[in-house]
Amino acid sequence: MSPSSPALQIPFELARHRVFLDLQGRLGDTLRVTQQADGGAEALQRFDAVADPSACYERAHC
């Protein structure tokens, strides 16, 4: 079996999905900590003022 075969990619994909789900689960904690930090609430307000909720960002690395 070659390294690019689907059977070998499934465990990698599952692990990758678990990492993203874990990061998504930590978002609330991250926002809470940011809000409680000095200047954090204001930083979130500034971000909210300029963020585009429909934006799709390309990968920043290759």
Percentages of the chain per state (helix, strand, coil), in multiples of 5: 70, 0, 30
Residue 37: helix, strand or coil by DSSP? coil
Residue 31: helix, strand or coil by DSSP? helix
| Its pTM surpasses 0.85 | no
Summarize pLDDT for 49-62 with one digit per residue, the tens: 988 888 876 765 54
Summarize pLDDT for 25-41 with one digit per residue, the tens: 999 999 999 999 999 99
Q: At what angle do helices 6-36 and 40-50 cross, to 10 degrees?
A: 120
